[in-house]
Amino acid sequence: MKRRDFVRTMGAFSLGGLLPSPTVPYRLLPSLLVPMDDSQTDHLKAYGLTYRVIGAGLKAEWLLNYQGGAFLLPDGDAIRRDAALNGVRAEPVDAGRVTAIRGDIESNNMDAVPLEKAPKVAVYAPPNAAPWDDAVTMALQYAGIPFTKIWDPEVLNGRLKDFDWLHLHHEDFTGQYSKFFLIYSGMPWLADMVQRNSDTARRLGFQTVPDLKKAVARGIHDYVANGGFLFAMCTATETIDLALAAGSTDIAATFADGTPMDPDADAKMDWSQSFAFTGAHLEPNPLVATFSDIDGHQVNAGPRRQPLGAFKLFNFSAKIDPVPTMLVQDHRQVIPDFYGLTTSFVRSRLKPGVTVLADEEGAPWVKYVHGDLGKGTWTFFGGHDPEDPQHQIGDPPTDLSLHPHSPGYRLILNNVLFPAAKKRELKT
Amino acid sequence: MPRSLRAPSATLAFSILLGLQAAPLVGQAIGQGFELERAGRYADAAAVYLTTLRTDPANLPALLGLERVLPQLSRLAELLPLVQRARERVPENGTLRGLELRVWAQMNEPDSLEAAARRWAATSPRSDAPYREWALALADRRGFDEARRVLLLGRRALGGSPATLAIELAELEQRVENWEGAAREWGHAVAVLADLLPNASSQLAETPVPQRARVVAALTSADAAPRARRLAAEVLLGWGQATEAWRLFEQSIAGPPSPEIASALRRFADLAGAVSTPAGHRVRGLALSRWAELVPSPLAERARAEAVRELIDGGDRVAARAALERLAADSLAPADAKSMAEAALLQVLIADGQLDAAERRLDAESNLLGGDDRAALRLQLARARVARGELDRADAVLENDSSVAGIAQRGWIALYRGDLAGAIAAFRGAGPFAGSRESATDRTAMVALLMAVKGDENRELGTALLALARGDSLGATQGLRRVAGQLPPGSGRVEVLLLAGQIAARLGGAAQEATAAQVFQEIVSAGDTGAAPPTAELEWARLLVRQGRPAEAVQHLEHLILTYPGSAVVPEARREMERARGAIPRS
């Protein structure tokens, strides 16, 4: 059973009431409760602790909506030591307390989801990318969750099947170097990016970088369709959909592939191929570092730039919609917004069926969305760095040890643990 | 204020509407249209505006109202004949001409747009308005290249001066993120109109970091006007590059004094006030000194006194003295300026090590100084005496000082004499808040150490700490180790050793680092209770990290966290562990 079936199955059972509640085997042995409300001393490292527990072959549970999305771990010296070293609050609870917790979960909008298999994590990033370039890499490093960096050759050589979870960050899948080509002309980092991408395209048999990136986007699309979990942030969200919808249409400016964008590109986009978006209009000006009207904030589009507000996480029914519930577990429901090359997603550009996980009330955009594709799922989260709202190129990196309670980073780590959730058995 | 290319035409039109709606007869009907428009009833609003135009074909508010509502109804084409009819009635009306251009642009008729603009230019051959409105209409449709072409065409047609339409070109270049081009155009604009400097400077302040060097280069090319250089200086100052800003600014004010130069100096000084670095203080002081030469008394004396303070804060004692001398020679200087100058001069004397001269002057001129200044200067002088080991003279300087800072300083003097009881009493008397946060923390840490040592007197400890105060860290380390060796366990031995280890670790160098590691090891392995062992282990780990031995550091940090879970240094230890593992960036 693939992951998407797991999602469906969970929903079906909860709706039908076919399983005894709570729907996971009771843990009556002494346990450690890792609260995730304001009493937690390091929210981000708590995910790492849980990941290592299940990575060691032990079973854990994610108590959705209970104390901010707490974790229930088996008790043991090694786990206590790990928690102490990492400053994670973990409270020993006896069988009686566990029973009481389950009672609470049963009678409220809560659920207990077993976590069994530590997902194998891949981060799509160029080989020379610094660890601080990307919020997810930072979160994984800080939490102590191992990951493998992959790039275009690995995607095109079929390596994605070795991983359960793939993260994309600020890659520009339209192959236009985030449209910094003209604005940052002459900067060494840009020259290196262009050189590296051009070399890779040639080596892999593509005439242009946009062609290469489209093929990579297609590879990632297939990975999800075959059961993979995709989490994307910042400009990767928008550009992967543009690359997929473009197909053979030229949507890249002359500097990227030697030919101008097809003047009828808008009309030729095939949105049936994309993950999340539909009907977007492309930005034709190569000097404006924005790609389309998918992004609500248009941070680099001069007068079109919108100010930052705050986004609000939605409440879902834990027993009926466990997947979105997992993705929005947090100790804060309203979170200050943060810019990225793609900051948010305009509502009218979302495909029907996309689940909105967070939005800015009253604004025409949403922040955090989720959906299914084939046997897999994807989640898109706008913005670059939750703790650096105005992030600019050249800014100092974020030090997560100063933000151990970051609610924005928690959302990233929810996605990392989500693939660890055990699919429930179908009893019909 | 120049018209901005960024301002949406509808906003402009709306402003005009508000300005004109007071006309009594049409006002009522137009007001209805406006209310309907506000309520989103565009078709009804359009009907009101059209009715108004039937009786008054050149009614501008009605035409502008239609410009706003008809596009919402996909009926823009209806507007064109109405505008043309109105234009024929009042051909000299620039707003109507501009409206006609915008309608052509919105209808995506570039040839007709150009023809209309050229007709307008032909009737007003000396006006830049036709080109500005033409370019604006194009830019609003994201036709930036065409807009640029039109503005350059206008510049040529109007005589070719680089300042013509420079503001519009600057804003256009900014809109397409060409900051270098924008800077060049702002340079042209300010060259002829100094009043534009604040606007230009605030626009260019937003330049992204990678493009800043090119912006400055564009404003300081060989043929750049002095005002363009001044603009570059202001922009650099806004980016915190104070010294470079002053260099450019100085070049821009060469020449005979003028009201413009005086006002530029004052503005530069005010802007520098926002730069809190020493360089920022220094250039503010320099600008105030120069400004003082151009303004009358008592403004000049006050400015000089302020300049002295800034120059001292900026570490430029030479310039500070020069300014002080001018002030001292000025018999017209008001009392507050003289007081400020006297305090500044004493600071300079103390910093230069002329303590006897400073002491004499402090006694002789104390009536010139305010109470706070006098107390602060006495404290500085006492500290300077301590740094020379002149404890009696330091005490004498503070003799009549009953301030908490003075009491705290007397505590240090007592400590350096080995009078531990006297030091503790003075530190307690001063309380935990006197002076800066750092000095308060130092005092509290010292009280903790002295209480651990126990006993009322320890001359060798005082001597070692005086060596530290005088900058002899090596001597202090050796002295503290000797003192620790003489103390029985449980009587402050590990605390004194910890201080010795911390000083040795700070000193650096293989020998001192080895000493520090040895001391830390001794403290940790002693298995003592209290704050010293975890602190020593943390310092040890930090030393290992600095020596490029992160794995060993991590072992110590893990040991610290697990062995002393209640220690106050555990959060710091975790952070250090993350750094040693490479999980967080180095800061």
Segment A132-176, tens digit of pLDDT: 678 899 999 999 999 999 999 999 999 999 999 999 988 899 999
Residue B69, domain member (yes or no): yes
Contacts of A398 in chain B (CB under 8 A): 585
The parent domain of residue B557 ranges over: 500-587
Q: How many CB pairs under 8 A join A and B?
A: 68
Tallying the residues shown for chain A, one arrives at: 428
Residues 169-188 of A with CB under 8 A from B: 183-184, 187
Best of A85, A136, A190 to disrupt the B interface (most B CBs within 10 Å) is A85
CB B136 within 8 A of CB B10: no
Domain A121-420 listed as CATH 3.40.50.10240:
no
Positive or negative: CA dihedral A311, A317, A319, A322: negative
Residue B369, domain member (yes or no): no
With an 8 Å Cβ cutoff, is B176 touching chain A? yes
Residue B492, domain member (yes or no): no
Q: What is the pLDDT of residue A411?
A: 97
Mean pLDDT of chain B: 88
For residue A25, the distance in angstroms to the closest alpha carbon of chain B comes to: 33
* Residue B18's pLDDT band (cuts 50, 70, 90): very low
φ, ψ of residue B315 to 5 degrees: the values are: 80, 15
Domain edges within chain A? 3-115, 121-420
CB A423 within 8 A of CB A114: no
With an 8 Å Cβ cutoff, is A298 touching chain B? no
Residue B129, domain member (yes or no): yes
Q: What is the pLDDT of residue A184?
A: 67
How is A68-123 classified by DSSP, letter by letter? TTEEEEE--HHHHHHHHHHT---EEE-HHHHHHHHHHHHHTT-EEEEE--PPPEEE
Q: What is the pLDDT of residue A303?
A: 75
User: d(Cα B158, Cα A394) in Å, to the nearest integer?
Assistant: 43
Residue B42 CB contacts under 8 Å (≥ 6 apart), including other chains: B36, B69, B72, B73
Residues 182-241 of A with CB under 8 A from B: 183-184, 187
* Residue B324's pLDDT band (cuts 50, 70, 90): confident
How many structural domains compose chain B? 2
Report the residue from A85, A303, A392 with minimal CB separation from B6. Answer: A303
CB A178 within 8 A of CB B204: no
Residues 353-392 of A with CB under 8 A from B: 392
pLDDT exceeds cutoff 80 at A418: yes
Residues 117-156 of B with CB under 8 A from A: 142, 144
Task: Give tens-digit pLDDT for A299-316.
Answer: 888 778 888 899 999 999
With an 8 Å Cβ cutoff, is B81 touching chain A? no
**Tokens, residue B213:** 């060097």
Residue B13, domain member (yes or no): yes
pLDDT exceeds cutoff 70 at B21: no
For residue A186, the distance in angstroms to the closest alpha carbon of chain B comes to: 9
Q: What is the CATH number of the domain that holds B557?
A: 1.25.40
Q: What is the rounded average pLDDT of the residues A375-395?
A: 86
B211 contacts A183? CB cut-off 8 A: yes
Q: What is the rounded average pLDDT of the residues B40-48?
A: 90
Q: What is the CATH number of the domain that holds B35?
A: 1.25.40.10
* DSSP-based three-state secondary structure for A265: helix
Contacts of A300 in chain B (CB under 8 A): 177
Q: What is the pLDDT of residue B371?
A: 80
Task: Give tens-digit pLDDT for B113-167.
Answer: 999 999 999 999 999 999 999 999 998 877 889 999 999 999 999 999 999 999 9
User: d(Cα B2, Cα B197) in Å, to the nearest integer?
Assistant: 12
pLDDT exceeds cutoff 60 at A27: no
> DSSP class of residue A232?
E
Residue B409, domain member (yes or no): no
For residue B212, the distance in angstroms to the closest alpha carbon of chain A comes to: 11
Q: ipTM of the predicted structure?
A: 0.72
Residue B536, domain member (yes or no): yes
Residue A350 C-alpha from the chain's centroid: 17
Best of B239, B581, B584 to disrupt the A interface (most A CBs within 10 Å) is B584
With an 8 Å Cβ cutoff, is A81 touching chain B? yes
Is 0.80 surpassed by the pTM of this model? no
Residue B281 C-alpha from the chain's centroid: 11
Mean pLDDT of chain A: 87
